[in-house]
């Protein structure tokens, strides 16, 4: 591993019960440990943006989360609003059914619009690998690459299962060095992180960051 473990981590709290105190704690931990980003629900973007102003850790939030079944127009409006609120990275969920129906134009148009709304900031495309066949993972990754997104993200962490080494390796084979990969979902230990980074992940989304770095 060429960089510090902390630099790989999106320190995450997307719990439904997360409150202001929890998000303040998350941000302070990110500052103290130099995590790459915090990932918070949209309602907490202004708070996180205020707390991380001038810090290295970025403010990441989610779009169309966790189902991906919002309309393109809703996802675009959400992305533009959240960017204006201070979000620096957007983790968007693709329309899973559209991938399965091979509706390439819908999926590509959606990502293109969100990349535009992000105004130069990172867009990470969540393809929810546990719901896709290998051919569908390949298709989704190729569309995201063609649409100008910056990362493929494996999972929401709210579906059947999360990131696997196999899926990270598969995605890396598809995208080469043109994009980055964020692995997320079920990543609980430092060993998990190291295996996924070795498989090709550039970023790790986890709610277990503090226990990881203290192992």
Is residue 91 part of the annotated active site? The answer reads yes
Catalytic residue among 10, 180, 182, 202: 182
Which residues in the chain belong to E strands, given as ranges?
Answer: 9-13, 37-40, 58-63, 89-93, 122-126, 151-153, 180-184, 203-206
Catalytic residue among 124, 137, 153, 180: 153
Task: Give the distance, in angstroms, between the CA of residue 143 and the centroid of all CA atoms in the same chain.
Answer: 17
Rounded CA gap, 114 and 71, in Å?
12
Catalytic residue among 91, 167, 192, 202: 91
Is residue 182 part of the annotated active site? The answer reads yes
Is residue 198 part of the annotated active site? The answer reads no
Q: Which residues are catalytically annotated? A: 91, 153, 182
């Amino acid at each position: 591993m060429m960089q510090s473990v902390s630099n790989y981590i999106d320190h995450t709290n997307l719990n439904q019960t997360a409150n202001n105190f929890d998000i303040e704690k998350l941000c302070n931990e990110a500052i103290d440990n130099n995590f790459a980003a915090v990932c918070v629900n949209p309602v907490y973007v202004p708070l996180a943006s205020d707390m991380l102003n001038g810090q290295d850790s970025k403010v990441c939030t989610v779009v169309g989360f966790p189902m991906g079944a919002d309309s393109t127009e809703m996802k675009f409006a959400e992305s533009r609003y959240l960017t204006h609120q201070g979000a620096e990275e957007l983790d968007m969920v693709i329309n899973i059914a559209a991938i399965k129906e091979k509706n390439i134009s819908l999926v590509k148009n959606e990502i293109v619009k969100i990349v535009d709304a992000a105004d130069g900031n990172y867009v990470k495309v969540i393809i929810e690998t546990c719901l896709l066949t290998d051919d569908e993972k390949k298709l989704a990754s190729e569309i995201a690459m063609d649409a100008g997104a910056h990362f493929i993200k494996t999972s929401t962490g709210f579906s059947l299962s999360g990131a696997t080494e196999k899926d990270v390796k598969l995605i890396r084979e598809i995208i080469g060095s043109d994009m980055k990969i964020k692995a997320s979902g079920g990543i609980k230990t430092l060993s998990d992180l190291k295996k996924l980074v070795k498989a090709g992940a550039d970023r790790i989304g986890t709610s277990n960051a503090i226990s990881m770095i203290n192992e």
